[in-house]
Amino acid sequence: MQLPYRKAGKYTHLKPDQHLTEAKYNELKNKLDRLKFNRPGAANEVKRLAEFGDFSENAEYQIAKGRLRGINQRILEIEDHLRRAVIIKPNKNSKTVQLGSNVTVLIAGTPPHLFHKCGGKEKTYLILGSAETNPGRGVISRRSPIGSALIGKKIGDQIKIKLADRVVEYKIIKIE
């Protein structure tokens, strides 16, 4: 039995972002420990299925072998990621936006005293590495258009960001 071959996509070989929070680092470490714990069982399963003989007709063996290869590959990837990881340690007294900063912005053009009456929006973003993004919760990548534009700016700075169909202007009102 021949296993299907899938051509790699254009983002397949990109290295993951090395900037991680301590929580994400610990999560990856736990995942690595679980994979290493499960690997001997997968290897024993491959060994057990190999005893049935003819490998070309043994689909269970092929599947178990593929599963073991996947576990080994994932272990190597996580070990490499952890080896290269840089832990984000936010500086709470910073006057500029940095990796790990919580930044509150006001969509420019809305005066602060008319903010709620005009329907203006205030948004808070946490800027992290791209391995931990969740735009729905306000966690954005330092490489995203908004994140890269905010890095290095100060309170009161206004920035223009070109999004897909429009240009949005933000004013930084708070950095934590």
Find the CATH number of the domain harbouring 128: 3.10.50.30
Q: How many domains does the chain have?
A: 2
Q: Does some domain include residue 3?
A: no
Q: Please say whether the beta carbons of 103 and 89 come within 8 A.
A: no
Based on the fold, state whether residues 109 and 65 are members of the same structural domain.
Answer: no
H/E segment holding residue 173: strand 167-175
Length of the chain: 176
Q: Which of 87, 120, 135 is at the close of a domain? A: 87
Q: Which of 62, 87, 112 is at the close of a domain? A: 87
Based on the fold, state whether residues 75 and 117 are members of the same structural domain.
Answer: no
Question: 58: closest CA among 119, 130, 1?
Answer: 1
The larger pLDDT score, comparing residue 41 to residue 55, is at 41
Query: What is the extent of the structural domain holding 158?
Result: 102-175
Average pLDDT, the chain: 86
Based on the fold, state whether residues 116 and 55 are members of the same structural domain.
Answer: no
Q: Please say whether the beta carbons of 95 and 156 come within 8 A.
A: no
Find the CATH number of the domain harbouring 71: 1.10.287.180
H/E segment holding residue 73: helix 59-84
| Maximum mean pLDDT: which of 3-7, 8-12, 60-64 | 60-64
Based on the fold, state whether residues 80 and 112 are members of the same structural domain.
Answer: no
Q: Does some domain include residue 46?
A: yes
Q: Please say whether the beta carbons of 155 and 174 come within 8 A.
A: yes
pLDDT above 70 (res 99): yes
Coil/strand/helix, residue 142: coil
Based on the fold, state whether residues 80 and 108 are members of the same structural domain.
Answer: no
Q: Does some domain include residue 23?
A: yes
For the segment 47-72, what is each residue's pLDDT rounded down to a tens digit? Answer: 998 888 777 778 889 999 999 999 99
Q: Which two tokens stand for residue 134?
A: 């969740």
Q: Which two tokens stand for residue 128?
A: 């992290």
- One-letter amino acid at 118 equals C
Q: Please say whether the beta carbons of 87 and 21 come within 8 A.
A: yes
pTM of the model: 0.77
Based on the fold, state whether residues 109 and 154 are members of the same structural domain.
Answer: yes
Question: 17: closest CA among 139, 130, 124?
Answer: 130
For the segment 133-174, what is each residue's pLDDT rounded down to a tens digit? Answer: 999 999 999 989 999 999 999 999 999 888 777 888 889 999
Q: Does some domain include residue 151?
A: yes
